[in-house]
Structure 1
Amino acid sequence: MGDAIKGRGSTGYLPGRYEVSISQPIDDGWHDGRAENDEEIVEPLPRTQVREERARSIISRNQSPDIPFSQSVNPYRGCEHGCSYCFARPSHAYLNLSPGLDFETKLSAKVNAAEQLRRELAKPGYKVSPIALGINTDAYQPIERKWRITRQLLEVLAETRHPVSLITKNALIERDLDLLAPMARQQLVRVFFSVTSLDNRLAAKLEPRASAPHSRIRAIRRLHEQGVPVGVMVAPVIPWVNDHELEAVLQAARDAGADSAGYVLLRLPWEVAPLFRDWLQTHVPDRAEHVLSTVKQMRGGREYDAAFGKRMRGEGAYAELLARRFALALKRCGYPQRDRHAGLDCSRFVPPRPPSPQAELF
């Protein structure tokens, strides 16, 4: 699609699969790429744009056997981290936006998220189960520093004593330790950090606006010291790109206080496949074909297999070797032998009062 763009994971505006028309620049011969002063024209870097959105509902539910939660809340659409491999990129196609650059530059902030969450938790038929906060896109992506929607959601969950889990690539989560630490003492929260690589240069190419690897490891230590249960996810594992770091990431996280760990194999659904092929050709062209060949070996000859039980771990010799390496590393690093999502207490929940103009009169 194009050359690498500083601070972005995509190199262009890949059309979504629902686009009815596609525009393409064509040289008509009138412009030779130079300005009047004979200097090359430099295209401006794409800037992040955030629009306000009022959500009609906020809790999403699923019945997938591959993930350990049935409820999730996403405060934003799109993600400024710009991870080149993000499985959520295709969701921007539903908005008639590009899963490429639009996904990381044209974002939506659900400004009424906390208000809507309070309303849904107050429903008489609501059944408590842990809410995963920020799954489709990172709840602590850079725009959270200004919009603070994730913090507002945490304030509602803390007030109602509702259990929550978070997964993030951003050390910004340390800002909310004043909420997380008291919730942890009531067994209401678990935090996971996604650490793809310990190599700063590689991480800057894979996930350009996420916190640097050493910042995430430091944040693990800080949360652990404050009593917040914290784990690490090596996600995704990419053959011949970061797979050799699996044991090193697990050891670094364990040394910092992580008490649980997991991993997810690279997933390439829908528009993610061409976007990641382009990333490989841009950043590691010498290994691009080898990476994709290995991925296909684990996906039944295809770039992606969405079947439950296979999409997260793959199958075949390479996938089995990866699983054995992970199990041995857990034992060698001294991770506790328990479910990494266990321990959240659903019995403390206190439903919020339904919003009412006369609520404060009684």
Structure 2
Amino acid sequence: MIFKEIQAKSLLRKQKKIDSWFLSRYNMNLYRGCLHACAYCDGRAEKYFVEEAFGREVAVKVSAVDILRKELDPQGKRTAFTPSYIFVGGGVCDSYGPAEEKYGLTRRVLELLAERQWPVHLLTKSGDVQRDWEILLRIQKQKGALVSFSFSSIDPAISALFEPHAPSPAQRLEAMAFLKSKGLNVGMMLMPVIPFITDAPGLLEGAVRKAKEAGASYVLCSSMTLKPGRQKDHFYTVLEKHYPDLLPVYAMLYPENNAYGAAIPDYFPAVYELFQQIVKKYNMPQRIPPRFFRRILTENDYVTVLLEHMDYVHKSLGRRSPFGYAAYSISQVAQPLSTMRSEIGKIKGVGKMTEKVVREIMETGMARDYERLLGG
């Protein structure tokens, strides 16, 4: 493994709208590149501009803490921060691992975020997060903290093939249970589900069951994307070595002309329908429950997230949905919805059905349609 120290010019990335997966408007990568070497990682894709040899080399943003301290200084901001979780990890790195053992950037950043009283959502495959449980618990008590663990399955043999240098699924589940025992909010990101490898009913149910046993408050599930270029080429190399019979199947699943790398629409609805049956069996939320973000987000962002949750489930089941476009439109409205109640139906994309849902959310904090679809 190779660590390359770099001087970053900025750290905190502001998104154009609230991210309904991670409940964040701001995210950061303290390291660039990842040593887990997961075969499916889209961090390899050219769009992320990772120059380092993925899986062997990591760039370390040694100035990250000093930069973040300046970026979080409200006196230096032209516009105020919008309340949300700050998302740490994911994207093109894991915030824990050998680089963190040497440089300790994640711990120092968490200490700074605790000092500034920011809510934190942390995503990792590493059990090393247990080291920082006291800081995370302090953040949770102050504002809110979520620790999500990434899995493609709980099968150790499959994980060894597709996540060759990551901690085993058992180690991740142990870390999840440990953090839960300390009072932290934890969950599972079953992302991605690898077609015809980790989407078997027994594997999906096993993952949800194990997450439940470890104290997870949610399990999120998504299909795998394979962007043309380095990501897809690398994955196919691994697939050819271990599952060569699936190569022609994947050629049909992932057309070359799809720049986003999504599977054909016919694939995922049956998988997600099965996943829905499983999470209902175990009374497990399939999205991060609103109780974890209702008091953190602005009212417009809160409505946006609930609408996008509903939209994702409908579309994952192969249904048409009016909620996605409406959610985006609301996310771009600068004025608080509560000050424009008579104008809600005039927002682009907000039809009568969506308007009814939005008004119910504003009045009660929840919508019956949301509860029927996802649970409360």
User: What is the TM-score with the length of structure 2 in the denominator?
Assistant: 0.70
Question: Of Structure 1 and Structure 2, which has the larger fraction of its residues in helix?
Answer: 2
Of 205, 226, 243, the match for 1:284: 243
Q: Tell me what 1:274 maps to.
A: 233
Q: Tell me what 2:142 maps to.
A: 186
Q: Tell me what 1:354 maps to.
A: none
Of 86, 94, 112, the match for 1:156: 112
Give the CA RMSD over aligned residues: 2.3
For the residue of structure 1 that corresponds to 2:42, the secondary structure is: coil
Q: Tell me what 2:274 maps to.
A: 325
For the residue of structure 1 that corresponds to 2:205, the secondary structure is: helix
For the residue of structure 1 that corresponds to 2:192, the secondary structure is: strand
Of 250, 257, 281, the match for 2:208: 250
For the residue of structure 1 that corresponds to 2:107, the secondary structure is: helix
Q: Tell me what 2:320 maps to.
A: none
Give the Å deviation of 1:183: 1.8
Q: Tell me what 1:74 maps to.
A: 29
Q: Structure 2 unaligned segments of length 5 or more: list them.
A: 298-376
Q: Tell me what 1:201 maps to.
A: 157
For 2:68 and 2:87, the matched residues in 1 are separated by 13
In the superposition, relative to structure 1, how do residues 208 and 183 fare at CA in structure 2: closer, same or farther (>3 Å)?
same
Give the Å deviation of 1:135: 2.1
For 1:84 and 1:321, the matched residues in 2 are separated by 24
Of 95, 103, 126, the match for 1:139: 95
Higher relative contact order (CA 8 A, sep 6+): 1
Give the Å deviation of 1:203: 0.7
1:116 counterpart = 2:67: yes
For 2:222 and 2:50, the matched residues in 1 are separated by 27
In the superposition, relative to structure 1, how do residues 247 and 187 fare at CA in structure 2: closer, same or farther (>3 Å)?
farther
Give the Å deviation of 1:63: 2.8
AA aligned opposite 2:64: A
Q: Tell me what 2:129 maps to.
A: 173
Cα deviation code 1:127-152 (max 9, x no counterpart): 13211101211111332122111111
Segment of structure 1 superposing worse, 122-131 or 112-121: 122-131
AA aligned opposite 1:62: Q
Report the identity percentage: 30
AA aligned opposite 2:270: L
CA contact (8 A) 1:59 1:73 kept: yes
Give the Å deviation of 1:290: 2.3
Q: Tell me what 2:57 maps to.
A: 106
Give the Å deviation of 1:323: 1.5
Paired residues for 1:301-312 under 5 Å: 301-302=255-256, 304=258, 306=260, 311=262
AA aligned opposite 2:124: T
AA aligned opposite 1:235: M
1:59 counterpart = 2:32: no
Give the Å deviation of 1:92: 8.6
Q: Tell me what 1:39 maps to.
A: none
Q: Structure 1 unaligned segments of length 5 or more: list them.
A: 1-47, 348-362
AA aligned opposite 1:268: L
Structure whose CA Rg is larger = 1
CA contact (8 A) 1:187 1:343 kept: no
AA aligned opposite 1:333: Y
Give the Å deviation of 1:341: 6.7
How many residues get paired?
Answer: 286
For the residue of structure 2 that corresponds to 1:243, the secondary structure is: coil
For 1:71 and 1:95, the matched residues in 2 are separated by 20
Give the Å deviation of 1:172: 0.6
Cα deviation code 1:228-269 (max 9, x no counterpart): 111101111111111111221111111110011111211111
AA aligned opposite 1:185: K
In the superposition, relative to structure 1, how do residues 272 and 251 fare at CA in structure 2: closer, same or farther (>3 Å)?
same
Q: Tell me what 2:197 maps to.
A: 241
